[in-house]
Structure 1
Amino acid sequence: MKILTFSTLFPNSEKPGHGIFVETRLRHLVASGKVEARVVAPVPWFPSTHPRFGNYAKQARVPREELRHGLRVAHPRYPTIPKIGMNVAPLLLAQAAKPTIARMLDEGYDFDLIDAHYFYPDGVAAAMLAKYFNKPLVITARGSDITLLPNYPLPRRMIRWAARRADAVITVCNALRDEVVALGVDAGRVTSLRNGVDLQLFRPTERAAATDTFTLLTVGHLVPVKAQELIIAALPLLPGVRLVVAGDGQNRQMLEDLARTLNLSDRVDFLGAVPQAQLRSHYGAADALVLASSREGWANVLLESMACGTPVVASRVYGTPEVVAAPEAGVLMAERTPQALADAVNALRAAYPDRAATRRYAEGFSWDDTTAGQLSLFEDILNRRQRQPSGALACRTP
């Protein structure tokens, strides 16, 4: 089976952690030996690579094509238009990707199916491409593409159009499946396939001797939806507890200012962005991971922490209760407030699980079931397509 994975959420040499969950799922699928894959991961166009342009320059430095873990990844450029960009982004993405995909086909990579990730604008663009190239389509919903973007009228209409055009929709948790069905998509066409965890990469490490200090770790981009400020604001209610923050982003200065205002600078360590391969030591050194997000589809950091033997404290949003579903996994906050977060940390400390039991819990979330589910779904789609009467060929121009 040959597939084409399409998404702007995919790592590249300049942003190796960007969309790594999409790459990880694909790598496990290809490792089954039953799938060959190529990737089209568009990046925004920008005219200069000069460092003074920061993130924009990074995007400009992304190579047109690269090889990642044996996967060929193409990065066509698409224009972004201020103010109106959200509405036209699917069309711009599709138009940018067409020549790249046409070239793949002309070179002999006649893929069987488009595997798209994130509904808007990526999934909508993929639906346009699937129609143009006459290929079956599967779209995976991953979080805010379903929990937030349908609140806007035009994206909502386009998401519903793409979902109807798709041969199947995958969601990374049951809570997202319910949201997709609520948009009017036939429940029989929506499959929940949760993310797994790399149990070889994330595993227990040797821990330092126990001390009286209880260490919390939070991992993720420092952006409003992750709400790390709730964790910092809870620290005055948690004497003897320190916080390690792994990640970077637009909220970093605000979070550092908050720690200083609350006289917590000596109890909060900001590590900046940490490569995924180095996270294991931080998970292993912590006593608990904390995730205070206002929205999450399926938070991979929760399972990564558990796989290292470290239990979690997390907000009760969307797919998170499906991840934190046993005492050995950790504790869910009653609500998203500093007091509720402190209460959850204290509850975890009062009944702290055996770290080996936390690791065993995470072992139930390997990628094997997800890979098997994808293979079954893709094969079923292709078998159904073969049984259909031959229709008109794709109207692709040379």
Structure 2
Amino acid sequence: MSDASSPSTRSPLRVLIVADTYPPDVNGAAVFGHRLAKHMTARGHEVHVAAARPGPGPDMVERRPEATIHRFRSFKAPTHEYFRLCLPWTVEPGMERLVDELQPDVIHVQCHYMIGKAAILAAQRRRIRLIATNHFMPENLDPFLPFPQWFKNVVSRNSWKDMSRLMGLASVVTTPTPLAAQTMREKAGFENVLPLSNGIDVDYYALRPGEDRPARDHPTVLFVGRLAVEKNVDILIDALSRTDPRLGIRLEIVGDGEQRDHLRAQVEELGLSDRVEMRGHVSEGELREAYLAADVFCQPGTAELQSLVSLEAMSAGKPVVLADALALPHLVSDDQNGMLFAPHDADDLARKLDAVFSLPEAQRRAMGEASRDKANQHAIGRTMTAYEGLYCGADWWETGQFFEEPPRRR
């Protein structure tokens, strides 16, 4: 397979990536969209991205190193800190105009909601090759819907139906993990869903020749991600308060979100201000340093379809303590590269943290090496080669094999 950053041997394509969330948003789907654009551009393809404008104002175009970004007029979601909504009566005509202007060879949607729906319908009308990737489950919307649970259940069922109706029009449907693919088959009725990892640059987070590992003054467990309800960072903070005080474990939290004030109040209430550092958003270089300096990584989230941050920590050679929920168990071989804990159970998480931090340094280092071996299975070059094949006409059948067809420009 060709390297993710190397020019492709295939004929250049014009690719339109359509995303409901894209940088400056900070989440797994936005990171994947950015990396996809960057690597496809590096392979010699002409890449355009259609996404919501991150603030008020009319449609606009950005020229960025990874792609040309077409921003559609959007409105702030009333219950989410940064998510923007593109209304159908504005985004659908705008998408029609954009597709007519670009005449892309392939459209790759990352969602089936408003902006994704507009792109799916535009692709279908013009018989443009369509690839669809699903990054989350409709139930993930629950924390942001101010309705009773019975109504949220109705919304979830309808969202699954819409996913089936819209993404079912694609030539190939992908999702990051086998578990997510199985769920889509069961709840949305898809016959074939290709589990295709989002991919990570496993070498970026590893120590380089001659580089010393950054040091922390105390044993450190690291969390990276949005400070959102479903990430359950409050469970991690609670667990920290229950760990063996003789171990002196500290917690470093990288990321920001709507739960920040609640979490700060929890830290103060538990008397952990000297043991918890909330760093907010950091630069890419500072994030890399945080992974390398930490002793253990923890992901307490229960809505993870893959968890790129867990894979990044694993590629940095860290033992991981992850919630036994959704896709996270696929990343852990218990007692080999980390441990699983019962979701929402602070006592169990505290026990697992105590167990890992009580291990001899050599054994923790061996667990970190096992983590890196697992992360290598998600090398981004493999992911980008697979998507490039899909763009060029490969298909997905029940055997799980790709069958090449000649690309067809329109």
Q: What is the TM-score when the length of structure 2 is the normalising length?
A: 0.78
Q: Specify the alignment match of 1:380 in structure 2.
A: 394
**CA distance in 2 between partners of 1:124 and 1:249 (Å):** 27
Q: Specify the alignment match of 1:55 in structure 2.
A: none
Call closer, same or farther: CA 1:93–1:30 in 2, change over 3 Å.
Answer: farther
Deviation at 1:20, TM superposition (A): 1.7
Call closer, same or farther: CA 1:323–1:67 in 2, change over 3 Å.
Answer: farther
Contact map agreement 1:206 1:284 (CA 8 A) in 2: no
Q: Specify the alignment match of 2:82 in structure 1.
A: none
Of 374-383 and 307-316, deviating more is: 374-383
**CA distance in 2 between partners of 1:209 and 1:159 (Å):** 46
Q: Specify the alignment match of 1:263 in structure 2.
A: 271
- How many residues are paired up? 361
Call closer, same or farther: CA 1:233–1:61 in 2, change over 3 Å.
Answer: farther
Q: Could you say what secondary structure the match of 2:163 adopts?
A: helix
Q: Which has the higher helix share?
A: 1
Call closer, same or farther: CA 1:129–1:247 in 2, change over 3 Å.
Answer: same
Deviation at 1:77, TM superposition (A): 0.7
* 1:124-163 correspondence runs (5 A): 124-145=117-138, 151=153, 152=155, 153-163=157-167
Residue from 33, 38, 50 that aligns with 1:27: 38
Contact map agreement 1:174 1:192 (CA 8 A) in 2: yes
Q: Could you say what secondary structure the match of 2:364 adopts?
A: coil
Contact map agreement 2:240 2:350 (CA 8 A) in 1: yes
Q: Specify the alignment match of 2:380 in structure 1.
A: 367
Contact map agreement 2:177 2:195 (CA 8 A) in 1: yes
- How large is the RMSD of aligned CA atoms in angstroms? 3.1
**CA distance in 1 between partners of 2:215 and 2:166 (Å):** 54
Q: Specify the alignment match of 2:56 in structure 1.
A: 60
Q: Which runs of 5+ in 2 are unaligned?
A: 1-12, 80-84, 143-151, 396-403
Q: Could you say what secondary structure the match of 1:102 adopts?
A: helix
Task: For residues 335-392 of structure 1, give each alpha carbon's deviation from its aligned partner in whole angstroms, at most 9, with x where no partner exists.
Answer: 3310111122123233524244443442332112212221232322594996xxxxxx
Call closer, same or farther: CA 1:94–1:275 in 2, change over 3 Å.
Answer: farther
Q: Which runs of 5+ in 1 are unaligned?
A: 44-57, 84-88, 387-392, 394-398
Q: Could you say what secondary structure the match of 1:75 adopts?
A: strand
**CA distance in 2 between partners of 1:344 and 1:232 (Å):** 14
Q: Specify the alignment match of 1:207 in structure 2.
A: 213
Call closer, same or farther: CA 1:276–1:102 in 2, change over 3 Å.
Answer: same
Residue from 1, 4, 7 that aligns with 2:19: 7
Residue from 235, 246, 263 that aligns with 1:230: 235
Deviation at 1:37, TM superposition (A): 1.7
Identity %: 25
Call closer, same or farther: CA 1:146–1:376 in 2, change over 3 Å.
Answer: farther
Of 324-333 and 274-283, deviating more is: 324-333
Deviation at 1:277, TM superposition (A): 3.3
Of 169-178 and 311-320, deviating more is: 311-320
Q: Could you say what secondary structure the match of 1:331 adopts?
A: strand
Task: For residues 112-134 of structure 1, give each alpha carbon's deviation from its aligned partner in whole angstroms, at most 9, with x where no partner exists.
Answer: 12100033344333322223443
Residue from 52, 68, 88 that aligns with 1:42: 52
**CA distance in 2 between partners of 1:62 and 1:282 (Å):** 38
**CA distance in 2 between partners of 1:303 and 1:186 (Å):** 27
Contact map agreement 1:219 1:247 (CA 8 A) in 2: yes
Deviation at 1:217, TM superposition (A): 0.9
**CA distance in 2 between partners of 1:279 and 1:165 (Å):** 39
Call closer, same or farther: CA 1:61–1:241 in 2, change over 3 Å.
Answer: farther
Q: Which amino acid aligns with 1:375?
A: E
Q: What is the TM-score when the length of structure 1 is the normalising length?
A: 0.80
Where does structure 1 differ by over 6 angstroms across 4 or more consecutive aligned residues? 80-83
Contact map agreement 2:130 2:170 (CA 8 A) in 1: yes
Residue from 88, 106, 110 that aligns with 1:117: 110
Deviation at 1:226, TM superposition (A): 0.7
Call closer, same or farther: CA 1:78–1:196 in 2, change over 3 Å.
Answer: same
Deviation at 1:94, TM superposition (A): 7.3
Contact map agreement 2:131 2:171 (CA 8 A) in 1: yes
Deviation at 1:98, TM superposition (A): 3.7
Task: For residues 1-55 of structure 1, give each alpha carbon's deviation from its aligned partner in whole angstroms, at most 9, with x where no partner exists.
Answer: 222101121114xx5778122111332233334x332111123xxxxxxxxxxxx
Q: Which amino acid aligns with 1:110?
A: Q
Of 287-296 and 72-81, deviating more is: 72-81
Q: Specify the alignment match of 1:220 in structure 2.
A: 225
